[in-house]
Amino acid sequence: MDIIIAAEKPSIAKLLSQHVKRQVRPDQIEVSENPDETGSFYIGLDLDQYVLSPSGEIAPGGLETS
């Protein structure tokens, strides 16, 4: 388990690379905080969106709009 302490794009890009099984550079992603969960982040890569949990797990997801 990889624990992310801060939104460091290089660390997040490395975890996302492992998740999508291709190299992802830090400049390819957009990272924003998830206000619903402390230590969680939204990650945008191309047209895909993911959620990074405080425990370091990445799952498909995205920003919800009302």
Q: What is the pTM of this model?
A: 0.77
Phi and psi, residue 39, nearest 5°: 85, 5
Find the distance separating the first CA and the last CA of the chain, reported in whole Å: 33
- Name the more confident of 26 and 2: 26
Element (H, E) at 17: helix 9-20
Amino acid occupying residue 24: V
Q: What pLDDT is stored for residue 62 in this prediction? A: 53
- 42-64 confidence digits (pLDDT tens): 999 999 999 999 888 999 985 45
Alpha-carbon span 33 to 40, nearest angstrom: 6
66: confidence class by pLDDT, cuts 50, 70, 90: very low
Tally of CA atoms within 13 A in the half-sphere of 59 that contains its CB: 7
Amino acid occupying residue 2: D
